[in-house]
């Protein structure tokens, strides 16, 4: 019969050591979870949610069912408890038409009509951004919308003077969209033909105090 190693640990000793380890470790884990667990779980949930959005929407094609306003559309795929998915066009801001406090803004209806002409009832491809968040604070999906002819609706709205380049949040096309807006201003396209400074949204007047100073 082989001899037991001189310093071998018995099963009872090993079990006792394991129990002591967890007895000491568990209070530490509880404290760490109390202090940091919520943030960690939130980060994991957000990452999982973002990954799920990429798998579900990125580079996929859908039909535009409704145009809410110039920068917001619904596409034909369920999103949680909603029958459709609401898309907020990333990197752009069109004049409001239905805002509860701002009301109807200059060139808001024109921007909505533009988006309807370009996208309503059409097959569009959704592209998500790797720099920005995937959702806004209202839960809307932030995305670039590629039209059937390959043009990106977000960029076209700015280029043709129906939208402002949104300067409040980073995204991959931030610099490009700024340049498109400057070009539209220089060429007096769309709203820039006759807009007064008071017609601009407050956030833009704050970010760009130089605009339309006559």
Give me the active site residues, please.
88, 96, 140
> Residue 73, SS3?
strand
Torsions phi, psi for 87 (to 5 deg) = -110, 130
Question: In degrees, to the nearest 5, what angle opens at C-alpha 129 toward C-alphas 39 and 69?
Answer: 105
Residue 149, CA atoms < 13 Å, CB-side half-sphere: 5
> Residue 205, SS3?
helix
Contact present, 184 and 109 (Cβ < 8 Å): no
Question: Strand ranges (DSSP E) for the chain?
Answer: 60-69, 72-75, 85-89, 92-93, 123-127, 141-146, 164-165
Question: Strand ranges (DSSP E) for 23-117?
Answer: 60-69, 72-75, 85-89, 92-93
Tell me the C-alpha distance between 170 and 178, whole Å.
12
Torsions phi, psi for 29 (to 5 deg) = -65, -35
Burial class (CB in 10 A: 0-12, 13-18, 19+), 42: exposed
């Amino acid at each position: 019969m082989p001899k037991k190693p001189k310093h071998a640990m018995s099963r009872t000793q090993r079990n006792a050591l394991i129990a002591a380890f967890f007895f000491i470790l568990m209070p530490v884990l509880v404290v760490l979870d109390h202090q940091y667990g919520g943030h960690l779980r939130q980060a994991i949930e957000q990452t999982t949610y973002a990954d799920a959005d990429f798998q579900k929407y990125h580079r996929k094609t859908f039909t535009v069912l409704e145009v809410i306003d110039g920068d917001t559309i619904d596409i034909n795929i369920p999103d949680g408890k909603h029958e459709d998915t609401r898309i907020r066009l990333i990197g752009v801001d069109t004049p409001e038409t239905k805002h509860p406090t701002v009301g109807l803004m200059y060139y808001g209806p024109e921007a909505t009509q533009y988006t309807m002409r370009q996208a309503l009832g059409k097959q569009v491809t959704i592209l998500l951004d790797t720099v920005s968040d995937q959702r806004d604070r209202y839960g809307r999906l932030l995305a670039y919308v590629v039209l059937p002819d390959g043009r990106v609706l977000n960029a076209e709205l700015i280029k043709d003077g129906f939208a402002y380049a949104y300067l409040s949040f980073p995204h991959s096309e931030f610099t490009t969209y700024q340049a498109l807006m400057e070009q539209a201003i220089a060429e007096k396209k769309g709203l820039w033909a006759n807009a007064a400074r008071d017609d601009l949204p407050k956030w833009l007047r704050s970010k760009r105090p130089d605009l339309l100073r006559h």
